[in-house]
Amino acid sequence: MAVAASQAPSLEATARTSAEAMARPRHVDGSSCPGRAQQTQPQTLPESEKFGPTTAPSHPIEGALRDIYWALSCISLPMLVLTATFMGLVYVYRVSHGPGATGSSLSSPLVDDSNAYYVNYSATRLITVSSWTSTVTSFASSFVMALVSYPIAKCYLSRSQALSMEQLPTPYQLRLIIGCVGGGFGSLWSWLQYCFWRHRSKQPTLLWVSALSLLGAGALRYVKVLGQSYETDRWTSFAILAVDTWLHVTTSTISYDAISPVSQPSFNYGRTMDPSCHGETRASGVCIGNNFAGLLYFESLTNATETLMNLSSTNIVLPCHLDGRDLAYLTAADRHPDLDFQAKTFAMSTHCTPVSKQCDLQAVSWCPFPQGCNSQVQLARGMPYDCGPTLFGGLANNTGTPFNSSLLDDSQAGISSGIASTNGFFLQLFRKPNFSEPFGTAPDSPNPFYFATGARVAASAALAADPEAVQNNADADYGFIFSCNSEFFELDYKMINGSFAGGTTTPVDGTLASNAVFTFIYYLSYTQNVMEGAFISGGVQSNNSEQFANFLAQRFSETTLSMVSGLTVASPNIAEQTRERLLVTRLPKAPFFVLIVLNLIYALLGIILAIIALASQPRRSRSIQARLSIGGIIAAFLEPEVHEAASASKKSNSGIEGAFAEYYNDSELSDEGRVLVSDRAGNVAFEKIQPQTKAEISTRNSDEAAAHASPALLDEEPTTETEPTRLESSPTSSVAKRKPVAYGGDSRDAGTA
């Protein structure tokens, strides 16, 4: 039997007649519908607008609570789990250089960026976990609309019962509502186009709420139901995507040094005096060598020479700057590259001042022949200097100050005379400043001690113009004299990441000074080459005499420490910490915390929507909510009444599938109907037909055979065509045909429902 659209089952069975509905005043409860205030007004509809409910009961659909809880789980649970996982990875694998990170006396100079976390975890994997949160929001829109559809269904039912015509949707508006409730974002585009239609009907609040709720599934604008406004962040879902992109762009992989304290130091990078050398303060330097029977030897000469030439595998002398002065300190040559440590060693500081003018250094020439000189070639040239009674001579012939000592013979005097030099180099040691008390005039060596040095070298253009530079006549070399002082210290220092990281100095006794002086007196040849090389290098590298003096001072400290390195032995480190170089993820805090907050807001929204759905009488509105779908419309217009089949079946009645007869094919009332489509005038029409049973086919064939055998039929004209048997729409017909249903849905709804 054809079923007209006006005869479709109503969404809820009622017993009242249309006359009763028209006669009594309508009470529209604004608290149950979006955007409606409570009002009571009688209304008499025109005859054309009056309609009455059908008496056929609608098929009830159950499972509202399960549907709500399932939607809540799909919205909030994945977001909470992923957020907790993301935060757990960040804080479990976080590394830091903050206070207390090392747990040792070594204070790391590294300071972490306070605006970022450093995570010892793959940046690719970490960002993948964070991106899952934005992925969840893209799949959760249908579940958000499932929760929103319950208050919409309740409001729709309430307005339908009250016959509030101005608040009920038109057929096309119903199509838009169903598309939005289905969670398809294509319906938003259809709705936006509809908003610009000319002469369209006024949009009811139901359509506005449906469209904005779907927009809220991506942008979470707001949902207004039950007379109250539930405000949320307008752009939370889109914001999650934007913040996740922000996090992707700003997260990077960097090199990071992870610090771990060492409870018990195990390396010996410190240096202390050999116990056998303590107390040796005589200028003869008994700890280094001996002077019995005129035999001199240097037991630590090999180690000293290797250290001096930077070839030792045990010791090395390094420069540093501490408390406004340049130092050279002795340390281990085979230090572990990933170990930070604190140790004690020996250091030396030297300061030099140019005194060429003070010593009256000048270039002179004279004729050495009694009969006179006929040309400049015969003239003798010299560069005499006179710094005082204990320091005078000439740079041209390398002569120093001859003085007598009651302790040392001339060969042991603290003077460089008699040492051949091509550039007039000399080095003379003193116990006191101002060139007083040369070494050898007293039995011990003080700390600090003093010395004077000079030579002729080639100079840079800038250095040659310095007032302390004295040109050697027409030659290209220039003469310089420097007054210096040196002091030994015990240095308590820290080495962080392979670099000097500060320390403290304490002056020591004269033991090291005495032995250092011994090497310069007896083994000047070992140091003379180094210092002459320093003069040559400094002359071409320096721009003024002050730079030249600083260069020579540092080289003297390094040379002197190298010569006494054999007097020291290794000592344990005071503190240690290991340094592990890692590739870590730099995670900015700003996008990290914003993403966490937005994720929690999204999860909270699911809980709020679930509470609203539970408050909208879900058991009562479930049947309407389930039918606000394409499946509900198809079931309403193409399916027969399935109430009897549902009663006989043991299947669950919890979804829209329960509104279709095929769902109950396991009962006695099986449905084998098919839907065909026919291209008629107007819209495309769909029809449901029922196939004939074998008994009906057999009976029909028998009737046709009897009809062909009838004499009356044989007398008819042979040209008369036999009209095919028509399928009647009565309940007794062999093929039951439903009324064609015009369906105006477009491809966008089909793809997004």
d(C-alpha 105, C-alpha 102), whole Å: 8
Q: How many domains does the chain have?
A: 1
Q: How far is CA 44 from CA 156, 164, 180, 268, in A?
A: 21, 11, 33, 104
- CA–CA separation, 146 vs 214, rounded Å? 10
pTM exceeding the 0.75 threshold for the entire prediction:
no
> Helix, strand, or coil here: 569?
strand
Continuous segment of H or E residues that includes residue 479 = strand 477-496
Q: Is residue 246 part of a domain?
A: no
| 589 contacts 288 by C-beta, under 8 angstroms | no
d(CA 544, CA 532): 18
- 460, part of any domain: yes
> Rounded to an integer, what distance in angstroms lies between the CA atom of residue 460 and that of residue 723?
124
Q: Looking at the domain assignment, is residue 396 inside a domain? A: yes
Q: Is 435 part of any domain?
A: yes
Residue 341: φ, ψ to 5°: -150, 165
The residues facing 454 across adjacent strands are: 426, 481
Nearby residues of 23 by Cβ (< 8 Å), 6 or more positions away:
none
Residue 709, pLDDT score: 61
pLDDT, residue 190, reads 80
Distance (Å) of CA 182 to CA 11, 213, 508: 18, 11, 88
In 3-124, beta strands by DSSP E: 26-28, 39-41, 94-95, 116-119
The helices-and-strands tally (H runs, E runs) of the chain is: 20, 26
Strands 270-273 and 568-571 turn out to be: antiparallel
What pLDDT score was predicted for residue 11? 35
Q: Which two tokens stand for residue 85?
A: 């996982």
Torsion of CA 268, 269, 274, 278, to 10 degrees: -120
Consecutive 10-residue averages of pLDDT for the chain (753 residues): 38 37 40 45 46 50 82 88 93 78 59 86 91 79 80 82 81 81 74 82 81 65 36 55 88 88 90 72 48 45 80 91 93 91 94 94 82 74 86 70 36 44 82 84 78 90 91 80 94 91 89 77 72 89 94 93 86 91 92 90 87 85 78 75 58 69 66 73 68 68 66 48 42 41 41 36
> Residues near 298 by Cβ (< 8 Å), separated by ≥ 6?
288, 289, 304, 519, 523
Residue 179 lies in a domain: no
Q: How far apart are CA 135 and CA 306, in angstroms?
A: 66
Report the DSSP beta bridge partners of residue 582. Answer: 256
Please state the φ and ψ torsions of residue 581, each to the nearest 5 degrees: -85, 120
503 domain residue, yes or no: yes
Spatial separation of the C-alpha atoms in residues 202 and 168, rounded to whole Å: 10
161 in any annotated domain: no
Residue 419 forms part of a structural domain: yes
In the block, which residue shows the tokens 């071409």?
Answer: 540
Cβ–Cβ under 8 Å, residues 247 and 130? yes
Q: What pLDDT is attached to residue 99?
A: 54
Look at residue 729 in the predicted model and tell me its pLDDT.
Answer: 40
Domain range enclosing 444:
352-553
Neighbouring CB atoms inside 10 A of 101's CB total 17
Q: Point out which residues pair with 392 in neighbouring strands.
A: 386
Of the candidates 92, 215, 128, 59, the one whose C-alpha atom is nearest the C-alpha of residue 641 is 59
